[in-house]
Chains A and B, each alone.
Chain A
Amino acid sequence: MRTILFIIQKEFIQIFRDKAMLPIIFIVPVFQLLILSYTATFEIKNINFVVVDHDKSVQSVQLKSKFMGSAFFNFIGETKDYETAEEALRRGTADQILVIEPDFEKNLQLEKYAKIQVVTNGINGSAASLMGAYATQIISDFNREIIIDEFPLANVNLPIDTHPSYWYNPELNYITFMVPGILVLLVTIIGMFLSSMNLVKEKEIGTIEQINVTPIKKYQFIAGKLIPFWVIANIDLAIGLILAYLVFKIPVIGSVVLLFGVASVYLIAVLSLGLFVSTMTNTMQQAMFISWFFLVIFILMSGLFTPVESMPNWAQILNYINPVAYFIKINRMIMLKGSGFMDFQREFYLLLTYAIAILSLAIARYRKTT
């Protein structure tokens, strides 16, 4: 035990005397949390739209003003022909074009049927489908209004009414959703990089030899290496949670103790993974590359940005070996919904198994001989 304490002491001294590392460990994550939470938004506002009105009738003007009055749309101009409007889309000054056909009003009056074309820049698929949906919504509202105008007696309300109610996040605030995920991300990046770089650094500068010739046991060495990072990452998590509460007003609805309990197990998995990478590589460059490679894949597949349920089956199966996915899921459950241990015990036991497996693997891979 004393041996482990000495190694821990050594690690802490090494970390804290490096003046450049301290801000990276403690201040950068704070900035990241603040900035990332604001950037990670899929909300759509201010859709720049251009109108091509071939009809210029009373009703086409009404429809236009309906769009201009919407908070989602930002009218940037009207063009004579479609070509000019599409040019604006090509230049990127507009996102959407509203094309009103020449006999819009006449068709509506005589045929009881008219067409509107909405052309959207589809490059960003998810944004485009939202923009399309907003435009369609405005047009169908308009449709209802003109019916009421012309046929005051008609009952144009749909017979079945749907009322959505949004639980846990009634204002549909995207930041509320992102913050728990970004917290996981930051803790993961710090933990993974500190641990994967550390052993390799000793290898590269040759100090590992000096430790190898001492009577320090393998498990003591690994424990002495992991505990400092484990402490640091937990402190980072605590700072993050306090910021989430103070800045974003996102309290932990569930149990904080439970959250740190899961985080502790999760961090063992992440740190061991970093250590494992460390034992497989010889230079810091290699270690960094390999950790970055796995991290990017883990993060992208974790459900941080996109729902896991939408992924194809093989990808969901692959997620069984993705520790980030477990913790993001659990963290969101505890922080936002107040879920208890029974609600995520399956995920927790999988995570625990994972942590033990990868830790044993890392210990087994580490050799005192070169």
Chain B
Amino acid sequence: MWPFIKKEFYHIFRDIRSMVILFGMPVAQVLLFGFAITTDIKDVPIAILDHSKDHVTREITSKLLSSGYFILESNINSNDGIGNSFKRGSVKEVVVFEENFAKKLEKEGKANVQLILDASEPNTATMINAYTSGIINTYSMQMMKTSGKIPMSIITESKMLYNSELKSVYMFVPGVITILLMLVSTMMTSISITREKEMGTMEALLVSPLKPIQIIIGKVIPYILLSFINLIVILLMAKFVFGMPIQGSVVLLLLESILFIVMALALGILISAVSKSQQQAMLLSMFGLLLPTIMLSGFIFPVENMPYILQLISHVMPSKWFIIIVKAIMLKGVGIAYFWKETLIIFGTTVFLIAMSVKKFKLRLE
């Protein structure tokens, strides 16, 4: 048994390129997610179409530009310019002040600003609209306050629990952990076993005195170790680079992760048992597994807003439950009492997958 595990380790560790990728990938992903991937609105290029050009419109413009959310791309003079700047993609919003803005405001107590948004990116458009009208409303509120027009006001105090600065890295770290564990455990094992099949060395292993179960265990142990190292690296980075806390018990987190790794490995063995070539195994894990894992697990997109059928499908994604568990431990700091159900689901899936793959593997022996 030992020499066999040693062989597997040699196989994996002598391949420097794969090792660099295996350990470089989590680092690169966490850094990217942490620093680059953000949905915040900042430095949005806008254009101003000012039909009035008076002191009020100038004041509002400078309020918008000094907010840090917008930068002035151009001043345009006519409505025709709007379509062109949108088509080039050089601006995301055009702020249009109507004619005689300040005069109307003074005489009728009312003036109009039109915000034209490039809504081909709907979310960004909504946010830009919210920020712009927020700034303009604050300006109008101040005008009202100075003239004493607000009789009573309710102040909303907003408080964000678990992630008070709304950092996106808090959301992504649990997802990245899950994806990487899946990638290393499921994809690597499935490919490494089908590879032995394809090269014909599996025959050699099967006729050796090793039992099939020993072969499988020998195959997966190095990957358990690799996954575990990756997990630790990500957690350390999350903590020390991004200041993401681990509120709950680290031991519990590691135990749950081991359970998930075993589940992912069992899945990998099953995939290798049903696919004939490395390429098949790869594409199967890629399309059948990784993309759904990313899309349906609540990693980036909240599951609750998806069509009902997709929500049902998401229930059979073990990664969804694992992400819930990781978030609960790391961010909410709660114990097993809060997610024993999720743990049980992953455990059940693991048992099921192991049973399935043992059955399939035996069939192949004949």
* A residues whose Cβ falls under 8 Å from a Cβ of B: 20-21, 24, 28, 32, 35-36, 38-46, 86, 89-92, 108, 112-129, 132-133, 135-136, 139-140, 142-143, 146-147, 150-151, 154-170, 172-174, 176-177, 189, 193, 197, 201, 204, 280-281, 283-286, 288-290, 292-293, 296-297, 300-301, 305-307, 309-312, 315, 329, 332-333, 336-340, 343-344
Contact = CB atoms under 8 A, between A and B. Distances in A.
Contact of B120 (A45, A159, A337): A337
Contacts of B132: 162
Contacts of B170: 122-123, 125
25 contacts: A21-B283, A32-B291, A35-B292, A39-B310, A40-B300, A43-B305, A108-B154, A112-B153, A123-B162, A125-B168, A127-B302, A135-B158, A140-B154, A140-B156, A143-B152, A158-B137, A158-B141, A159-B109, A159-B110, A163-B113, A284-B191, A288-B191, A300-B32, A306-B37, A344-B89
Point out which of B35, B113, B124, B286 has the most chain A C-beta atoms below 10 A from its C-beta: B286
A160 to B, nearest CB: 4
B171 A339 contact: no
A146 B140 contact: no
B52 interface: no
B120 A338 contact: no
A38 B89 contact: no
Given A115-B154, A122-B164, A339 B88 contact: yes
A140 B25 CA distance: 46
A124 B300 CA distance: 9
A166 B155 CA distance: 30
A343 B111 contact: no
A44 to B, nearest CB: 7
Nearest to B35: A312
A38 B310 contact: yes
A32 B287 contact: yes
Given A174-B123, A310-B42, A297 B37 contact: no
A90 B157 CA distance: 20
A46 B304 contact: yes
B61 interface: no
Given A113-B153, A172-B119, A159 B32 contact: no
Contacts of B115: 162-165
Interface residues of B, number: 115
Contacts of B114: 162-165
Given A24-B287, A167-B116, A201-B279, A122 B166 contact: yes
Contacts of B154: 108, 114-116, 139-140, 142-143
Given A41-B306, A44-B305, A289-B21, 12 more contacts: A90-B338, A113-B153, A116-B154, A117-B159, A122-B164, A123-B163, A155-B149, A156-B149, A284-B279, A300-B36, A310-B41, A337-B120
Interface in B1-35: 15, 17-18, 21-22, 24-25, 28-29, 32-33, 35
Contacts of A173: 122
B186 to A, nearest CB: 13
B352 interface: no
A136 B32 contact: no
A298 to B, nearest CB: 11
B332 interface: yes
A143 B153 contact: yes
Nearest to A28: B287
